[in-house]
Amino acid sequence: MVEKLDQIEELKKLDPKDMYSAVYNLPEQIERAAEVAYNAEIKNISDKIDKVLVLGMGGSAIGGDVLQSVLFKEAKFPVFVNRDYDLPNWVDESTLVFAVSYSGHTVETINSAKLSYSRGASVVAVTSGGVLKEFAQENNLTLVEIPSGMAPRAAIGYVTIPSFVILERLGLISSKKKDIEETVAYLRNKREEFKIEVPTEQNVAKKVAKMMFKHIPVIYAVEEKWKVAAYRWKCQINENSKYPAFYHFFPELNHNEIMAWEAIDDVIKPLTLIFLYTSLEGEMKIRVEFMQEKISARGVPVFLWQAEGNNPLTQFFSLTYLGDFATVYLAYLADKDPFSIGYINELKLRIGQALS
């Protein structure tokens, strides 16, 4: 019997807007994002920046989380992410604000960007157009205009890379050109292993999709700074696959969530567990191996995925690229269109009707 995930022509019928190709073409997207950001004209940015705030929602906001994680050991300034209409009180003239909205119409982001500007913050707009682009142009702000036409979650390169490039150009962080090049090379190599033409028995992305199918995935990041990678998996499972999923991170989860795994079999058996890690050493190795041992003994499928790369940017994408492919394949197994976001659109329509 031919595996469902190897019936390529049938799978294409489930993906009329071709989310698969958006995932496959991520390396080229990252290259283009860097090119656009290096060529953007920098305007009205203070030379006394001492903190960074990233504004965004959903797929547009995760770039801020990535910035925070990748710069964990490098940045001499704090990096915060704001998913709200309002702003923290500390935003002022020494704050660099990245307002990121792929569509340019995200209400929360636009509101908080305008508030940031009114407080004298230096605002950089990263968008494909819309109201946010107009706001940047009207106020002579730095604008990184990215290509339109994608689902925001599939535009992770476009919403992530520009902030690194702008910070580099301002002299606030080291050059990221080699890191970006390494990331692109890694992704180009890895997609040849994950692509749809590779049969299931040789394709780890398809195998992970099968492991998650008819289960509830739980994703654990082995380091707190990489909780963004686990969160990316969770969100991709939610939006692409239309599946519930949950995430947490070490060592914090060993002080609370570990006890949930003592639940009765009826609660535990529907779960599947994925560990994301860069390395396993010392106490952390003991923590992971202990949980793997206890959870596997309960009959729960467990999968470990290790980051690759010589820099944090490559490591992030190496942790998440597998998930991007696997969640599209999981959508196919569940007979779902990986592009569609029915409930999200219905909710936006209801809010719009209520406010009109």
Mean pLDDT of the chain: 95
Q: Which of 100, 106, 108 is nearest to 83 (CA)?
A: 108
User: Has 255 been annotated as catalytic?
Assistant: yes
Dihedral, 302, 189, 326, 311 alpha carbons, nearest 10: 60
* Sign of the dihedral defined by the CA atoms of residues 301, 58, 180, 29, in that order: positive
Query: CB atoms < 10 A from the CB of 64, how many?
Result: 25
Q: Which of 82, 84, 111 is nearest to 96 (CA)?
A: 82
**SS3 of residue 336 by DSSP:** coil
* pLDDT tens digit sequence for 113-170: 999 999 999 999 999 999 999 999 999 999 999 999 898 899 999 999 999 999 999 9
* pLDDT tens digit sequence for 48-76: 999 999 999 988 899 999 999 999 999 99
Catalytic residue from among 178, 214, 294, 348: 348
Write the CB contacts of 307 (distance below 8 Å, at least 6 apart in sequence): 226, 276, 277, 278, 315, 316, 318, 319
pLDDT value for 240? 97
User: Has 248 been annotated as catalytic?
Assistant: no
What average pLDDT does this structure show over 230-258?
Answer: 97
The half-sphere exposure of 200 on its side-chain side, counting CA atoms within 13 A, is: 17
Distance CA 253, CA 284 (A): 12
* pLDDT tens digit sequence for 298-321: 999 999 999 999 999 999 999 999
Buried b (16+ CB within 10 A) or exposed e, 95-116: bbbbbbbbbbebebbbebbbbb
- Classify residue 147 by its DSSP letter: P
Confidence grade of residue 2 (pLDDT, cut at 50, 70, 90): low
Confidence grade of residue 87 (pLDDT, cut at 50, 70, 90): very high
**SS3 of residue 43 by DSSP:** coil
User: CB–CB of 82/54 below 8 Å?
Assistant: yes
Write the CB contacts of 73 (distance below 8 Å, at least 6 apart in sequence): 312
Query: What number of residues does the chain have?
Result: 356
**Sheet-wide strand order for 246-249:** 246-249, 216-221, 271-277, 302-306
User: Has 239 been annotated as catalytic?
Assistant: yes
- Classify residue 41 by its DSSP letter: P
* pLDDT tens digit sequence for 162-209: 999 999 999 999 999 999 999 999 999 999 999 999 999 999 999 999
pLDDT value for 124? 98
Domains delineated in the chain: 4-15+196-333 (3.40.50.10490), 19-175 (3.40.50.10490)
**SS3 of residue 19 by DSSP:** helix
The yes-or-no verdict on residue 1 having pLDDT over 70 is: no
Catalytic residue from among 227, 239, 242, 248: 239
Tokens of 347: 């909710």
DSSP per-residue letters across 267-310: HHTTEEEEEEES---HHHHHHHHHHHHHHHHTT--EEEEE--SS
pLDDT value for 70? 97
**SS3 of residue 98 by DSSP:** strand
Catalytic residue from among 73, 192, 255, 281: 255
pLDDT value for 16? 95
The yes-or-no verdict on residue 356 having pLDDT over 80 is: no
What average pLDDT does this structure show over 227-243?
Answer: 97
Q: Which of 311, 316, 333, 216 is nearest to 276 (CA)?
A: 316
Distance CA 33, CA 159 (A): 8
pLDDT value for 58? 87
Residue with tokens 């595996």: 3
User: CB–CB of 154/135 below 8 Å?
Assistant: no
